[in-house]
Amino acid sequence: MRTQVAIIGAGPAGLTLGRLLERAGIDAIIIEQRSADYVLGRIRAGVLEQSSVDLLRDLGVNARMDAEGIPHDGVELSFDGDMLRINFHELVGRRVMVYGQTEVTHDLMEARAASGARSIYEASDVAIHDFDGERPRVSFKKDGQHHEIECDFVAGCDGFHGVSRASVPADAISIFERVYPFGWLGILVDQRPVAEELIYAHHARGFALCSMRSHTRSRYYIQVDSSEKVENWSDDRFWDELRNRINPEIAERLQTGASIEKSIAPLRSFVAEPVRFGRLFLTGDAAHIVPPTGAKGLNMAIHDVSVLAGALEEFYAERSQAGIEAYSPTVLENTWRTERFSWWMTQLLHTFPDSGDFGRRIQRADFDYLRASRIARQSLAENYTGFRV
Ligand code: APR
Ligand code: PHB
């Protein structure tokens, strides 16, 4: 088999890149190790920045998003029960769209299937060869048979545990990482959301987040110790703990019910540098991880692949290397800006086991500063809705 771009991974990064390349008339094959159903079974954050919404519209995968997604003009912060609304629209003239990542993935998969573009699911033993030369190859097994794809470029869109980053020699890559001593226990429930907008809550007992997937499906999270096990959390225990951490008047309105999903996600900040190695590019979670506090993971992935698609278009149209050379610095600048914001939201809102009374007072001062200063709120709004230079 031969293609121009071999895309490893059919998550949001790989599928969005596939769509972008298709539109540019560049041939690509997606190689994914799981089944399509497995990929669609993953539940992840669901806040789209305006620029992500615009890109999905541009790519013609917006019908369901525009019908079912919920535009939000702001978010609520809660600090020991004191509420502060951040009005994005008034502060920076932008809003965000609440639409689940699972739905974005579903829409992209459907569009790809309809277009007839090639995707190979359930590929095992995926390996990348010769990406430091001009003729990279990707090999894999499918139904017991060995296959090989010759290509011009390899796009590593295979997430944090993928083969792309792992294929790079250790001395060619630097890793910057912070692992937080807690995770998020999340619950999905078919009940009306407790509020119209998302509520990010700091509490001495730990962080909590009230989010949603639709007007009838809610998503809630609470901070738990890294060592916690899902089995220790009955639905009732979860609801009691959530009520404790949010404003009491809001807690009274909480519609509880049997969970339809419950899981714990660890929190991590992670950056790989650089993100291009010859003709191999890292994108999305393969290149960086943010803690979910700023809802940035999906938006960063979409940003990366739009930069990459632009670079590849330039290469094929003009035989210019300029975009390819610029890929790593451009992506890293956005990555670090977004890492900083996600880290800042995380440290403002969570309870840290070792921060002591001083740390807690600083968190309160940070919240009071937001309450007092329009400029501070504007900075939060600018970053949350997606800051691009
Ligand atoms: N070969 C082929 N495919 C692979 C391999 C491999 N060796 N390893 C992983 N994959 C696939 C995974 O099965 C998955 O479908 O790559 C895909 C990567 O998808 P994601 O993990 O969703 O990563 P990405 O597309 O970068 O999306 C980033 O996902 O994790 C969230 O918060 C993150 O919202 C962000 C988004
Ligand atoms: C979610 O709805 O899953 C969600 C929303 C906002 C976040 C993280 C997760 O910051």
Is residue 358 included in any domain, yes or no? yes
Pairing of strands 218-225, 208-212: antiparallel
pLDDT of residue 381: 98
Verify whether residue 72 is a known catalytic residue. yes
Q: List pocket residues of ligand 1, CB cut-off 6 Å.
A: 8-14, 31-34, 39, 44-45, 101, 126, 157-159, 162-163, 284-285, 297-298, 301
pLDDT of residue 363: 97
Give the model confidence (pLDDT) of 58-104 as tens digits. Answer: 999 999 999 999 999 999 999 999 999 999 999 999 999 999 999 99
pLDDT of residue 199: 98
On average, the pLDDT of the chain sits at 97
* Total domain count, the chain: 2
Q: Do 185 and 245 belong to one domain?
A: yes
Give the model confidence (pLDDT) of 343-358 as tens digits. Answer: 999 999 999 999 999 9
Phi, psi of 290 (to 5 degrees): -120, 150
Other C-beta atoms closer than 10 Å to the C-beta of 68 total: 14
Q: What are the tokens at 47?
A: 């806040």
Q: What are the tokens at 376?
A: 């501070």
One of 99, 136, 292, 350 is an active-site residue; which one?
A: 292
Verify whether residue 292 is a known catalytic residue. yes
Is residue 310 included in any domain, yes or no? yes
Q: Quote the strand ranges of the chain, DSSP E.
A: 5-8, 28-31, 47-48, 70-72, 74-79, 82-87, 96-98, 119-120, 124-129, 137-142, 145-150, 153-156, 174-189, 199-202, 208-212, 218-225, 259-273, 276-277, 280-282, 288-289
- Give the H or E element holding residue 378: helix 374-384
Q: Do 166 and 29 belong to one domain?
A: yes
Point out the ligand nearest to the CA of residue 303.
Answer: 1
Q: Do 146 and 289 belong to one domain?
A: yes
Is residue 44 included in any domain, yes or no? yes
Verify whether residue 142 is a known catalytic residue. no
Q: How far is the CA of 30 from the centre of ligand 1 (A)?
A: 12
Q: What are the tokens at 83?
A: 């509420």
Verify whether residue 262 is a known catalytic residue. no
CA distance 10 to 16: 9
CA distance 380 to 343: 12
Substitution candidate for ligand 1 out of 33, 120, 296, 342 with most atoms within 8 A of CB:
33
pLDDT at 389 over 90: no
How far does CA 32 lie from the centroid of its chain? 18
- Residue 140 alpha carbon, nearest atom of ligand 1: 1
Domain range holding 116?
Answer: 5-72+96-176+268-346
pLDDT of residue 277: 98
Q: How far is the CA of 298 from the centre of ligand 1 (A)?
A: 11
Point out the ligand nearest to the CA of residue 100.
Answer: 2
Q: Do 151 and 248 belong to one domain?
A: no
Is residue 58 included in any domain, yes or no? yes
Q: What is the CATH number of the domain that holds 208?
A: 3.30.9.10
Q: Do 123 and 241 belong to one domain?
A: no
Q: Do 158 and 59 belong to one domain?
A: yes
Q: What is the CATH number of the domain that holds 26?
A: 3.50.50.60
Is the overall model pTM greater than 0.95, yes or no? yes
Q: Do 103 and 227 belong to one domain?
A: no
pLDDT at 281 over 90: yes
Is residue 374 included in any domain, yes or no? yes
Average pLDDT for residues 281-293, to the nearest whole number?
98
One of 99, 180, 193, 200 is an active-site residue; which one?
A: 200
pLDDT of residue 43: 80
Q: List pocket residues of ligand 2, CB cut-off 6 Å.
A: 45-47, 198, 211, 219, 292-293, 295
Helix (H, G, I), strand (E, B) or coil at 270: strand
Verify whether residue 38 is a known catalytic residue. no
